[in-house]
């Protein structure tokens, strides 16, 4: 897999993705976000992420939209791309990264890349995760992780999401993937 950072905000590179293959495809033509992609060996885009600075904190970068080709989901491409953007953002001088996730699969994937649940949600019920992982002596990592999963359990879920959450009941946070840099 090859990773390509197309530009930082506010450079606003645009990216046209096939809406039948990628969720949120329309969000990648916006010009106010930076973008990065993952490309397969044959140079085909298989994942993309859009990101921008926090409006009130120039040291924080928000990952806004992460999408993976529907035929390639579950291969770890999304987390690898997010890790690559995270590393490049830290090198660029950002101190924190945040992302709001709307499903338990994304929640788990971001945990594997070093993000952790903040205990906060957005107005549209997305869970906010950040890197570096939040630390709070009153809320151990496994309880923080489970609190996020519990937020999802109270929702109308697909059978796959329910099975996934059942498989994570009382578990510790997932280990960081070995490509952690």
What angle in degrees, to the nearest 10, is found between the helix axes of 104-111 and 77-92?
A: 50
Per-residue pLDDT at 178: 58
Q: What is the pLDDT of residues 17-30, one digit of tens each?
A: 999 999 999 999 98
When the pLDDT of each residue in the chain is averaged and rounded to a whole number, the result is 92
- DSSP string covering 101-129: E-SHHHHHHHHTTT-EEEEEE-TTSPEEE
Peptide bond into 10 cis (omega under 30): yes
b/e 21-35 (16+ beta carbons within 10 angstroms → b): bbeebebbeeeebbb
Smallest Cα–Cα separation from 21: which of 44, 50, 55?
44
pLDDT in tens, 97-155: 999 999 999 999 999 999 999 999 998 889 999 998 876 555 668 899 999 999 999 89
Query: Which pLDDT value is given to residue 31?
Result: 87
d(CA 109, CA 99): 12
pLDDT band at 181 (very low <50, low <70, confident <90, very high): very low
Q: Of 40, 39, 79, 46, nearest to 63 (Cα)?
A: 79
Please tell me the predicted confidence (pLDDT) of residue 82: 96
Task: Give pLDDT, residue 136.
Answer: 59
Residue 7 exposure: Cα atoms within 13 Å on the Cβ side: 13
Reported for 74-77, long-range contacts at CB under 8 A and 24+ positions apart, including other chains, are: 76/109, 76/177, 77/1, 77/38, 77/46, 77/47
The backbone torsions φ and ψ at residue 134, rounded to the nearest 5 degrees and listed phi first, read -60, 145
- Please give the share of the chain, as a percent, with pLDDT higher than 90: 82
Residue 75: predicted pLDDT: 94
Per the CB < 8 A criterion, the answer to whether 49 and 71 are in contact is: no
Q: What percent of the chain has pLDDT over 70?
A: 94
Residue that is written with structure tokens 């939209």 in the block: 65
Q: Is the separation of the CB atoms in 50 and 11 below 8 Å? A: no
Tokens of 96: 């924190």
Within the chain, which residue ranges are assigned CATH 3.40.630.30? 1-94
1-94 maps to which CATH number? 3.40.630.30
Strand 127-131 with 116-121, pairing: antiparallel
């Amino acid at each position: 897999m090859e990773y390509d950072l197309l530009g930082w905000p506010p450079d606003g590179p645009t990216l046209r993705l096939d809406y039948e293959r990628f969720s949120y495809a329309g969000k990648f033509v916006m010009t106010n976000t930076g973008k990065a992609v993952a490309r397969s060996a044959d140079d085909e885009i298989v994942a993309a992420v859009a990101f921008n600075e926090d409006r009130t904190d120039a040291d924080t970068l928000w990952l806004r939209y992460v999408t993976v080709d529907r035929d390639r989901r579950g291969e770890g491409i999304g987390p690898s791309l997010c890790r690559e953007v995270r590393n490049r953002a830290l090198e660029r001088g950002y101190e924190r990264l945040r992302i709001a996730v709307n499903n338990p699969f994304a929640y788990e994937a971001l945990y594997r890349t070093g993000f952790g649940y903040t205990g906060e949600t957005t107005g549209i019920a997305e869970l906010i995760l950040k890197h570096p992982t939040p630390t709070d002596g009153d809320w151990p990592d496994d309880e923080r992780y489970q609190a996020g999963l519990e937020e999802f359990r109270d929702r109308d879920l697909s059978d796959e999401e329910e099975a996934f959450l059942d498989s994570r009941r009382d578990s510790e946070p997932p280990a960081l993937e070995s490509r952690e840099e």
